Structure 1
Amino acid sequence: MPTPIIQVTDVRKSYGRGQNRFDALKGVSFDIAEGESVAIIGKSGSGKSTLMHTLALLDAPTSGSIALEGVDTSTLAGRRLNRTRNRTFGFVFQQFFLTANASVLDNVVLPMKIAGVPHAERKRRGMAALEQLDLADKAKNKAVNLSGGQKQRAVIARALVNDPRIIFADEPTGNLDSSTGAVVEDILFDLNRENGITLIIVTHDEDLAARCDRRIVIRDGLLVEDSRPNGPGSADTTHGRHGAEGVAA
């Protein structure tokens, strides 16, 4: 059986101490197979965003473990952690996080600039990503001048430039009207199906969650529902594009 791309084992996350302590996650365990599309859903304050931040290595769990293809991420630190996060993950956030007065292309190539990719290669790959998202004609425009849907497509292009294994999407259609949001959803699920990118969506939108292969429901810091037919721990739905090496290089 292939090693899951993500293995979560009894993950707990607390903030504060003593009477001010808040337990955001209270012992969550599950696996994600490469190529799955997974919706993490729950109400505000349920712990779903905290879970995403720990899965994406943006925050460390208080206890428990998260492994990327069998590599315990607690062993990653410094440059190795940053390199793993930069090469393995792409991020699509509700708030876009674009630099308003920078060009669309400059926004898109930022992850490659951080990774030290040479300028000519950054431009080539950035333009290829914009072409894929039908935004090549906007490359020189300032990000502030894009529509909401164009901004979210630019964010997806930015998420793609480092050829990620996993895309995390946090309420990716939350700031969009329904028709524009449907276009953005289609783009994300096409990337999942056609490129084999593992797609992890944090949302409270039941319609969006229904499009995923699987629903993980978080309530009060606990996993209360997992719709995978074989239950947590099974990883027999792998259909990814990469081999089983090099996630945490």
Structure 2
Amino acid sequence: MHPNQEETPVTYPATVEDRSAPILSVRDLHKTYGRGPNRFDALRGVSLDIREGESIAIVGKSGSGKSTLMHVLALLDQPSEGTVFLDNQDTRNLRGKRLNGARNKTFGFVFQQFFLTGSQTALENVTLPLKIAGVGRRARRDRAMNALEQLELGDKAKNKAIDLSGGQKQRVVIARALVNDPRIIFADEPTGNLDSNTGRVVEDILFALNREQGITLVIVTHDEELAARCDRRIHIRDGVIVDGEQAAA
């Protein structure tokens, strides 16, 4: 291809049986780390469709490839081989600002380790994705406050993150994930650092967002009870899907 010639977006057509295309599809994903004797194949030919409004659990033992799959699905990492389609668009054509924009606009993230800045307030932590998106200061504050109030944390907006309980921190993380009105929330062991009662509250919040707002929910978890609450469970072992729906080639 000539260096000045634009790439033509590649699309993956829905099958005749599918009346609506998946929001997210992956085809024949491979992800390899290292070379030679140090080579590790984290993903080995994974194909999967995710429909808008679904809740999906990706389960498997440590080292099975489940977190790698989530990072590739969320466009946080690139596959060594294979393709990720977002709204039928081949994401290999997304670069730089376009990639960051698509990720920031479409996805929200909830991680086990919170990744909050302890010295900043809950409100300041929630506004971060809006800063990245270039939203003005007043609009950032209004939208962040709305998200905190939705999570019943409006009264904690000025509290520093370091002073919040574990459950409050995770709700701040969910508020941050919601602030850009994402279509998909990726949650990596979202209750792993919480006691069972607090964890159940966090689960209920996530599934309420899925049920009431139609946000697609993709959860990576070891927790069988949490996985059982999802519409589908995708079991990964040694980098391949061994239980769950494998997309047609």
Could you say whether these structures have the same fold, taking a TM-score greater than 0.5 normalized by the shorter chain as the test?
Answer: yes
Indicate the SS of the match to 2:29. Answer: strand
Residue 208 of structure 1 pairs with residue 226 of structure 2: yes
Indicate the SS of the match to 1:95. Answer: coil
By how many angstroms is 1:17 displaced?
1.1
Q: For residues 150 and 136 of structure 1, what CA distance do their matches in structure 2 show?
A: 11
Segments of 5+ residues of structure 1 without an aligned counterpart are 235-249
**Percent sequence identity over matched residues?**
70
Q: For 1:172-183, what aligned pairs fall within 5 Å after superposition?
A: 172-183=190-201
Q: For residues 50 and 97 of structure 2, what CA distance do their matches in structure 1 show?
A: 25
Q: For residues 153 and 7 of structure 1, what CA distance do their matches in structure 2 show?
A: 29
Aligned position for 1:3: 21
Aligned position for 1:27: 45
Aligned position for 1:242: none
Aligned position for 2:146: 128
Q: For residues 37 and 248 of structure 2, what CA distance do their matches in structure 1 show?
A: 35
Residue 142 of structure 1 pairs with residue 157 of structure 2: no
Q: For residues 232 and 39 of structure 1, what CA distance do their matches in structure 2 show?
A: 16
Aligned position for 1:246: none
Q: For residues 164 and 233 of structure 1, what CA distance do their matches in structure 2 show?
A: 27
Cα distance change of structure 1 residues 162 and 76 upon mapping to structure 2, 3 Å threshold: same
- Which of residues 232, 242, 247 is equivalent to 1:224? 242
Residue 105 of structure 1 pairs with residue 120 of structure 2: no
By how many angstroms is 1:69 displaced?
1.2
Deviation string 1:186-239 (CA, Å, 9 cap, x unpaired) is: 00000000000000000010000000000000000010011x5xx6359xxxxx
- Which of residues 60, 64, 88 is equivalent to 1:70? 88
**Which entry has the higher C-alpha Rg, 1 or 2?**
2
Cα distance change of structure 1 residues 233 and 196 upon mapping to structure 2, 3 Å threshold: farther
RMSD: 1.0
Name which structure has the greater RCO, CA cutoff 8 Å, separation 6+. 1
Q: For residues 215 and 233 of structure 1, what CA distance do their matches in structure 2 show?
A: 17
Aligned position for 2:30: 12
Aligned position for 1:247: none
Aligned position for 2:189: 171
Indicate the SS of the match to 1:109. Answer: helix
Deviation string 1:69-106 (CA, Å, 9 cap, x unpaired) is: 10011110100000000000000000000000101000
Q: For residues 48 and 55 of structure 2, what CA distance do their matches in structure 1 show?
A: 14
Aligned length: 231
Q: For residues 133 and 92 of structure 2, what CA distance do their matches in structure 1 show?
A: 21
Indicate the SS of the match to 1:106. Answer: helix
Segments of 5+ residues of structure 2 without an aligned counterpart are 1-18
Indicate the SS of the match to 1:60. Answer: coil
Indicate the SS of the match to 2:28. Answer: strand
Deviation string 1:126-158 (CA, Å, 9 cap, x unpaired) is: 000000000000000100000000000000000
Q: For residues 87 and 138 of structure 2, what CA distance do their matches in structure 1 show?
A: 32
TM-score, with length taken from structure 1: 0.91
The residue type equivalent to 1:44 in the other structure is S
By how many angstroms is 1:9 displaced?
0.3
Give runs of ≥4 in structure 1 deviating > 3 Å: 231-234
